[in-house]
Chains A and B, each alone.
Chain A
Amino acid sequence: MSWLVVGPFAIILAFPFYWMLMTSLKTNGDLYDISHNPFVFNAALAAPNEDQPLRGQGWLPFGIENITTRNYSFLFTEPGIHYVDWIKNTLVVGGIVVLITLALSIPAGYALARLSGGWGQSAGIGIFLVYLVPPTLLFLPLSRVVAELGFQDRLISLILVYPSFTVPFSTWLLMGFFKTIPPELEDAALVDGASRLKALTRIVFPISLPGILTVVIFSFSLCVNEFIYAVTFISTSDARTISTGVPLELIRGDVYFWQSLMAATLIPAIPLALLYNVFLDRFIAGFTGGAFR
């Protein structure tokens, strides 16, 4: 019964990803022949550079023998396609932003959860509301500031701006996690003569490590998702991140590299999706454990 209800939704929600996988493995000859059934891989004249590693394995269903790996290798070997740079840039920006985020939001989240009294909750909701201030309102003035500082086309512009949405979000989540740790644990350590800093590093942080990891995953993915700042601040091809590089550089005027576009999408999406699912339950706990309890 649950399958009957959830199944159709799951098919619609996941279909684009199934479709990306199909498309990313097709040869040009197969893809652009409108008489072909798009749900299978059809035999077609392959270009010399379209490697077909499964050629001759006719026993495979759905014409899988006709797939090509060319669209993936295109991303990594084609001159002028900076896909590797985009991945590298995304990792650099995401990594540094996550570090800044942790440095700012762990103390703030802890203080909001524990140390402050009545106004703690109001401040918590305040931070939550800041997260709702959208980049749409800020990208125009920030684009000018970035230009004045000479940060255009440089990753530093994104690294400085992204914590403006990851910090409120992470503080909110961490506040939720810290609230679930009984204060008696720290009080016991304090009575035993430990300083508060020691109580924090020895007792609170180890217990909240899963929560901190959740914050790492989700703020990293917020950075990967970000689009409008990256479009406005960066205009050189090799300085782009993955979210802007793929749609803006793999579509050239009227020329769409469809198969490679799909391949370029799947490569970051699959690891992110797996991480999301592993950390989803903790995310829920932190998100709802904030000021609404």
Chain B
Amino acid sequence: MAAVAEARSKGGWRNTFEQRRFLAPLLISPAVLYIVLLVGAPLGLAVYLSLTDATAGSLSGEFVGLHNYADVWHSENFRKAFRNTIFFTLVSQAIVLVGAAILAHRLVKPFRGRWFLRFLVVLPWAAPVALGTIGWLWIFESTLSVANWTLVHLQTGVLGHLGLHLIDPLDPPQWLGRPNLAMASLIMVHAWRILPFATVIFIAGLASIPAEVDDAAKVDGATGIKKLWYVTLPLQLPIALVALLFGIVFTATDITVVYILTNGGPFNQTQMLPMWAFQTGIRSSSLGEGAAISLYLLPILVVVSIAMLWFARRAEVT
């Protein structure tokens, strides 16, 4: 290394160029510049717009201070959207965490047909979200729903004999037409599409635990639940937290699934913050208010990100 450093310190312009303190910034700056221009600047612009009464058609408006934030906060739809976003994110991520833990635990070990099963499991993640969601729109269709057909036939066939009458064949559930069912459908579709990603990350976490750890645990007599709790879980925690962080951010800020499945309906009962920001900012052309609505997401995201990274780091050290 010393020789390399010496060779570099000699010579003209080219070697100066190759010095680390020049080269590193030179290589990084184009990417950073692009990101500052296309993420930093629009974010700043969003904050500015949220403080004005700008409407579509202009980039500026009268400065109104925090008026938009206050206005938005007092709207019934916004509160509904706010509550829905939190509820929907928490429930779908809880399902994802449990599912991914079970799946990864199995898929990390080799067995016959593992590649095939993994292929099926990863499918929802590989297909474009908007298109996969259309598949669900069809499954939940009001008169031709395959979910309802199956339920009705299960009921007349098997469950009916057991005395179970869950649904009325003449008035089957309107999955996307009733507020609670629509919410459940949205949660399910989101869990469906995030689960493969979380599973893949969990598999990576499990696979990175060295074999020696397993052996050491065996020597110390740790098996089953004890091993899971004291050995596997702590080692997997950092990577699981990263998967959870991604899941929370992608779910809370997603607009595609809700846009295609319910459009916030029926009667804004499944409204989410991103969807409501779109409707206010684009469809109703209230740019300032729309920006304020979407910016309500920012503090949540910042807090979640910092907390997760902090935990991930801590868990890694201990």
Residues of A within 8 A of B (CB): 2-3, 5-7, 9-14, 16-17, 19-20, 23, 31-32, 34, 38, 103-105, 107-108, 110-112, 115-117, 120, 123, 125, 127, 129-130, 132-145, 148, 160-161, 163-164, 167-168, 171, 187, 190-191, 195-196, 221, 224-225, 227-228, 231-232, 242-244, 246-247, 258, 261-262, 264-265, 268-269, 272-273, 275-277, 280, 283-285, 287-288, 292
Contacts and interface: CB of A to CB of B under 8 A. Distances in A.
Interface string B28-56: 10111011001100110110010000101
Nearest to B250: A134
A138 B256 CA distance: 15
Contacts of B149: 38
B202 to A, nearest CB: 10
A265 B127 contact: yes
Given A269-B127, A276-B126, A191 B20 contact: no
Contact of A273 (B119, B146, B254, B301): B119
Contacts of B59: 144-145, 148
A17 B267 CA distance: 30
25 contacts: A6-B103, A6-B107, A9-B121, A12-B192, A13-B192, A105-B31, A111-B23, A115-B23, A117-B20, A140-B287, A140-B291, A142-B38, A144-B54, A164-B34, A191-B4, A195-B14, A221-B126, A228-B259, A242-B131, A258-B141, A264-B131, A265-B135, A268-B131, A269-B132, A292-B316
Contacts of B3: 191
B305 interface: yes
A111 B122 contact: no
A145 B45 contact: yes
Nearest to A199: B18
A41 B228 CA distance: 48
A287 to B, nearest CB: 7
**Among B27, B201, B295, residue most surrounded by chain A Cβ atoms (within 10 Å):** B27
A244 to B, nearest CB: 7
Interface string B188-208: 000010011000110111011
Contact of B204 (A108, A171, A243, A287): A287
B305 A132 contact: yes
Interface stretch (B70-78, B158-166, B177-185, B275-283): B275-283
B13 interface: no
Given A16-B124, A19-B139, A227 B195 contact: no
B239 interface: yes
Given A130-B35, A227-B255, A292-B316, 4 more contacts: A132-B246, A190-B7, A225-B130, A277-B126
Given A140-B49, A247-B134, A111 B24 contact: yes
B28 A13 contact: no
B311 interface: no
A137 B293 CA distance: 9
A143 B256 contact: no
